[in-house]
Amino acid sequence: MDELTREFLIESQEGLDRMERCLTELETHPGDAALLAEVFRSVHTIKGTTGFLGFKRLETLAHAGENLLGLLRDGKLEATAPVITGLLQLLDGLRSILKLVEAEGGEGEQDDADLIACLEQLQTPPKKAKPRAPRKTRMTALTAPAHTAETVPAAPVLAPPLAPEEHESDAARIRSPQATSAAESTLRVDVSLLNRMMNLVGELVLTRNQVLQATSSDPSMTLVSRRLDMVTADLRESVMKARMQPVSNIFSKMPRIVRDLSQTLGKQIRLQMEGQETELDKSLLEAIKDPLTHAVRNSLDHGIEPSDVRAAAGKDA
């Protein structure tokens, strides 16, 4: 895999992770312009880059999602539950194709026609029944000359519905200065490189201890040894911090899990998360990811009763 494709996969997965978080929040804040802009940006970026890399299947699917998101962002469509569900299905479809690209180098031969048709159907809001205008009757004398008959004006012709427009400059328009600044000050580092740095720092600590023991009786080396001790300690702490990640990286997956499972189980479930800013070592985060997900699913399956049972027991449905 070439470096450009690898970078595209990393950025796209990060964008879809942000998109998933925003969509679950959008269901409770359907008019939030910032959330809509973030979701639109994620899909728009994928569509633009896939065209350059030649991933036509990704481009076509992202284009269908972008049209729907454009209507939401412009206020022409409401972020209802079916729309959110459709966008989550779009997210899953994009993710599955990205996994194929990463694993096999290609997009696969699957057909996305059903998903694209669903996204296109969601672009048309439900039609409201129009009240029927009463028929206008007009009575004239039989002897009235023809030219005195009242002329009924023709009904105005309604303009056809506007098609979703292509917003080629949307990425530039919605990109905030803060986002640009954050991107410029961030550098991705491979985990294997961090692990190697951590091992080297461990070797350096051992060497520092040997130097301190060897020079403890030499007054001329006291300042040098103390300086070496301080620099080694600071370096070790910095490398350890580089491996730390907020638990929000795991917590961010939970709203989607709770939403999907609660709909399947027919339960009304509200998820509240605290302490997302807490940081843990990456290896520890990976270790607790599956057990934490399993615990949340079990609490929905077995720990929370159906709404009617809770209501009968005097609990909040």
pLDDT of residue 299: 93
* Amino acid 166: pLDDT: 37
What's the angle, vertex CA 114, arms to CA 39 and CA 52, rounded to 5?
A: 50
The pLDDT assigned to 61 comes to 92
Q: What is the pLDDT of residue 85?
A: 92
Percent of the chain at pLDDT > 70 equals 80
- What contacts 206, CB < 8 A, 6 or more positions away? none
Give the model confidence (pLDDT) of 237-282 as tens digits: 888 888 888 888 888 889 989 999 998 998 999 999 999 889 988 8
Provide the token pair at 89: 């299905």
Q: Count Cβ neighbours within 10 Å for each residue of 219-238 and write b for 16 or more, e otherwise.
A: eeeeeebeebeeebeeebee
Integer Cα distance of 51 and 46 in angstroms: 9
- pTM for the model stands at 0.62
List, for residues 51-68, the tens digit of each pLDDT value: 778 889 999 999 999 999
Q: What is the pLDDT of residue 127?
A: 61
In this model, does residue 183 exceed pLDDT 80? no
CA quadruple 129, 131, 133, 134: dihedral, nearest 10: 120
Question: In a 10 Å sphere around its CB, with 0-12 CB exposed, 13-18 middle and 19+ buried, how is residue 197 labelled?
Answer: middle
Mean pLDDT, the chain, rounded, equals 79
Q: What is the DSSP string of 172-230?
A: HHH--HHHHHHHHT-----HHHHHHHHHHHHHHHHHHHHHHHHTTT-GGGHHHHHHHHH
What local confidence, expressed as pLDDT, does residue 292 receive? 92
pLDDT at 223: 84
Question: What's the pLDDT tens digit per position in 101-122?
Answer: 888 888 888 889 999 999 999 9
pLDDT at 240: 85
Q: Using the predicted structure, report yes or no on whether residue 87 has a pLDDT greater than 90.
A: yes
pLDDT for 186 equals 60
pLDDT of residue 160: 35
pLDDT in tens, 184-225: 556 677 788 888 888 898 899 898 888 888 888 888 888 888
What residue ranges define each of the domains in the chain, with the CATH number in brackets? Answer: 3-125 (1.20.120.160), 191-242 (1.10.287), 248-312 (no CATH)
